[in-house]
Chains A and B, each alone.
Chain A
């Protein structure tokens, strides 16, 4: 078995155990106001970070791809206009694809 396979399987096992742990640990953990608030805010912080990192970096470098940034910007506009989820995604990908089709990269 190669090192990469081990990394793949350990990642998979780890991710599954973390999911199962959430469904298994006692509910009274969430009764604590601070823990509950932290549980609510973690996805906000991590997803905002992921969105930013995937929008504007490549590896360890800042990468400002005009088409990609325009796509994310279009998603933001769609969200502000209260567009449904599907439309937001289509608008974002469509904007980037259209800009690239006309030579913006």
Chain B
């Protein structure tokens, strides 16, 4: 993450906002890939836009579109997409400590509880910077993602394949970049990542689309039962994405 290189000696309030805006723009643009993929899967432009506006969690959106494209059961597709969104509950638990949202703000903030906002918020050195990072990342990413979805949905079939621009690599590369700081955090994290990827790949051929990724949570369960190595618990509890705080 960009924040890893942030100077910790001087307080630079612009930093969480700048990084958040940058991340929001970069990831939001990949909404083009979703819009295009959704429409070529058989969803209408408005269905693609409704998912981006209301679900606003890329992996679940892609999962549902994938099942529609494969002609799979809509019930399984919906269940898979929602289960995939369950990691956001866990993100919400972590974010609530930093954001402490109340009333209507909580209802609004909930929309923004996703991979990127969580990583960016928890990477900040203090709660104030965390809140600024969340607001910046969420607002820019939400706007960009939705505009890009619309553009991708309308443009699908007109500007050729999004693959020509390498947009199909944006997802896997972004996911890799998001977990990379955590992989540096400890051996358990690396084993859990490898096991999760292994579980998903080996079950892809036999399970409905979307389910293998959910099954990967078994790796996290196993990892959480493992005896913590000395010192590891402290580092990761602070925040995996933040490097070492002070």
Contact A19 to B197, CB < 8 A, known contacts A33-B233, A46-B216: no
Q: Given A23-B110, A45-B220: A61 and B205 within 8 A (CB)?
A: yes
B237–A18 CB distance below 8 A:
no
**In the complex the two chains form, is A42's CB within 8 Å of B87's CB?**
yes
Query: On chain A, which size bracket covers the interface?
Result: 35 or more
Q: Are A86 and B2 in contact (CB under 8 A)?
A: yes
Q: Are B192 and A44 in contact (CB under 8 A)?
A: yes
Would A89 and B96 be within 8 Å (CB), given that A44-B179, A45-B195 are in contact? no
Name the interface size band of chain B: 35 or more
- Known A-B contacts A22-B113, A23-B101; the reply to A79 vs B68 at CB < 8 A is no
B residues touching A (Cβ–Cβ < 8 Å)?
Answer: 1-2, 4-5, 22-23, 26-27, 42-44, 47, 50-51, 53-57, 59-62, 64, 66, 68-70, 74-75, 77-78, 81-82, 84-97, 99, 101, 106-107, 109-111, 113-115, 118, 163-180, 182-183, 188-189, 192-197, 199-201, 204-209, 212-214, 216-221, 223-225, 228, 233, 236-237, 240
**A15-B81, A44-B192, A47-B193 known, 16 other contacts, Cβ within 8 Å:** A7-B74, A7-B77, A16-B55, A18-B85, A25-B89, A37-B233, A39-B94, A41-B219, A44-B179, A45-B193, A45-B195, A46-B217, A53-B213, A54-B175, A71-B169, A85-B2
Instruction: Name A's B-contacting residues (CB within 8 A).
Output: 3-16, 18-25, 27, 29-30, 33-34, 36-57, 59-62, 67-68, 71-72, 75-76, 79, 82, 84-86, 88-89, 92-98, 100-101
